[in-house]
Amino acid sequence: MTDHKTRLAVFCSGTGSNFKALHRSIAEKKINAEFLICLSNRSTCGAIHYARENGIPAIQMAENQYSDYDSFTEAMLDALKIYRIEYIILAGYMRKVPDAVVDAYRERIVNIHPALLPKFGGEGMYGINVHKAVLAAGESESGATVHMVDEEYDRGRIVLQQKVPVLPGDTPETLALRVLACEHELYPRALRKILEEMNASDAP
């Protein structure tokens, strides 16, 4: 590990349990990084509360606060610049990241998806919808995927996946809980891998 802590922004829309799992791994020094800002499209949510309780600046940034989409995108890029953010971590962020941000952070935006991509990804496939679709398809297993973000929903390079069984009698909610527990283990492992590979490729 180098001495440099990678500067992270986390984008969230909800409970933020993945954010918490990552933050815990950083505190335990399993990942050499730090969260500088938490950005949410919502004015309040679990992730925002958690960020503030832990001294991480949390800001709401939603499209409807700006006169047009370009201004929204500019504001997002400005915030990332002010905090000198190196990687963006999507942790239950239910909005599409603007293309200009994806372009500025090519291969430096990470997402976790609650299914085994490329299955059960794409527009509209988020949160409980994903687990409903997995059960409706009669799958015997599901899981989580950490991937890099590009301009298309859930399509970027896959970093790591972890499987969980679908059990008889599962509802979308019981499956969601099993997948979420797996996400909390997978996301820190995947982020550590990404940052180690990045450091290795930067080495002389």
Residue 86 DSSP symbol: -
Stretch that binds ligand GAR, among 10-18, 36-44, 70-78, 191-199 (CB under 6 A): 10-18
- Report the alpha-carbon distance of residue 86 to residue 82 in Å, rounded: 11
- Structural tokens at position 117: 């991509």
Number of H helices, E strands in the chain: 6, 7
The residue within the footprint of ligand GAR, chosen from 127, 133, 162, 172 (CB under 6 A), is 127
Contact flag: residue 112 with ligand GAR (CB under 6 A): yes
List the interface residues with ligand GAR, window 177-196 (CB under 6 A): 180, 183
CA distances from 135 to 181, 182, 198 (A): 18, 18, 37
Contact flag: residue 114 with ligand GAR (CB under 6 A): yes
List the interface residues with ligand GAR, window 24-83 (CB under 6 A): none
Q: Which one is catalytic: 23, 49, 113, 131?
A: 113
User: Is residue 30 within 8 Å of 188, Cβ to Cβ?
Assistant: yes
The residue within the footprint of ligand GAR, chosen from 11, 89, 113, 182 (CB under 6 A), is 113
- Structural tokens at position 35: 């969260």
- Report the alpha-carbon distance of residue 115 to residue 144 in Å, rounded: 5
How big is the site for ligand GAR, counted in residues (CB under 6 A)?
Answer: 16
Which CB, 130 or 166, lies closer to ligand GAR?
A: 130
Which CB, 86 or 183, lies closer to ligand GAR?
A: 183
User: Which of 98, 90, 92 shows the shortest CA–CA distance to 45?
Assistant: 92
User: Is residue 47 within 8 Å of 16, Cβ to Cβ?
Assistant: yes
CB of 113 to ligand GAR, least distance (A): 5
- Report the alpha-carbon distance of residue 136 to residue 134 in Å, rounded: 6
Query: In the annotation, is 113 catalytic?
Result: yes
Residue 125 DSSP symbol: -
The residue within the footprint of ligand GAR, chosen from 73, 110, 126, 192 (CB under 6 A), is 126
Contact flag: residue 143 with ligand GAR (CB under 6 A): no
Nearest residue to the partner ligand GAR, using Cβ: 92
Contact flag: residue 92 with ligand GAR (CB under 6 A): yes
**Residues in the site for ligand GAR, rule: CB under 6 A?**
12, 14-18, 91-92, 112-114, 126-127, 130, 180, 183
User: Which residues are marked as active site?
Assistant: 113
